[in-house]
Amino acid sequence: MLKRIALTLILLSTVTGEALAVAKNPIVISQAQARASVGKMPNSAAFLQIENRGKNDDALLSASSTAAERVEIHSMNMEGDVMKMRAVDSLAIKAGEKIAMQSGHGYHLMLMGLKKSLKAGEKIPVTLIFRDAGKIRVTADVVETGAPAKPAYGMHEHHDH
């Protein structure tokens, strides 16, 4: 009987713990990836998906990584036939919205001043600060720069900071 009560308590506390974790953090990050750096290029880009499962809008305010001196939130847009990349102060994410960062379009994180070159297969930590959800730490897999990403990547190289 006692054993059963103890087991029930363990189950209850597990369920409660998970429920609390979800309630506490409606922001879910997935598919965090960083691009392997090319040659001695000092910068690289990282991409991840942000899902706001909460009922309130939130915003990504900043990001950082021990792999880079600083991390900027960049947006990329075609202006005429020129791809323009610029740093933004924050990235709003509405309740229920999912933002998939991707190369060449929309948003990405810019890793500025890499402390060492990034090689495919490595992992780097990225810390995200949200206005309401607070600090979220993720691990990004370093992946090879794919062929489709190259045009966008070239823009990074020539981007003046």
Q: How far is CA 123 from CA 4, 27, 37, 72, in A?
A: 43, 21, 13, 19
| C-beta closer to Cu ion: residue 41 or 85 | 85
- The least distance separating Cu ion from the CB of residue 74, rounded to whole angstroms, comes to 3
Q: Which of the residues 73 through 112 are near Cu ion (CB under 5 A)?
A: 74, 85, 110
| C-beta closer to Cu ion: residue 133 or 149 | 149
| C-beta closer to Cu ion: residue 28 or 99 | 99
Piece of 12-20, 72-80, 99-107, 128-136 that binds Cu ion (CB under 5 A): 72-80
Q: Which of the residues 3 through 42 are near Cu ion (CB under 5 A)?
A: none
7, 16, 47: which is closest to 152 by C-alpha? 47
- The least distance separating Cu ion from the CB of residue 58, rounded to whole angstroms, comes to 22
Residue 136 binds Cu ion (CB under 5 A)? no
Q: How far is CA 91 from CA 45, 60, 62, 118, 141, in A?
A: 16, 5, 9, 25, 22
Dihedral Cα 144, 32, 49, 148, nearest 10 deg:
0
Query: Residues 83, 155: contact at Cβ < 8 Å?
Result: yes
- The least distance separating Cu ion from the CB of residue 25, rounded to whole angstroms, comes to 27
- The least distance separating Cu ion from the CB of residue 154, rounded to whole angstroms, comes to 12
Dihedral Cα 138, 140, 141, 147, nearest 10 deg:
150
- The least distance separating Cu ion from the CB of residue 87, rounded to whole angstroms, comes to 8
Query: What is the spatial distance between Cα 145 and Cα 74, in angstroms, rounded to a whole number?
Result: 18
By the criterion CB under 5 A, which residues form the site for Cu ion? 74, 85, 110
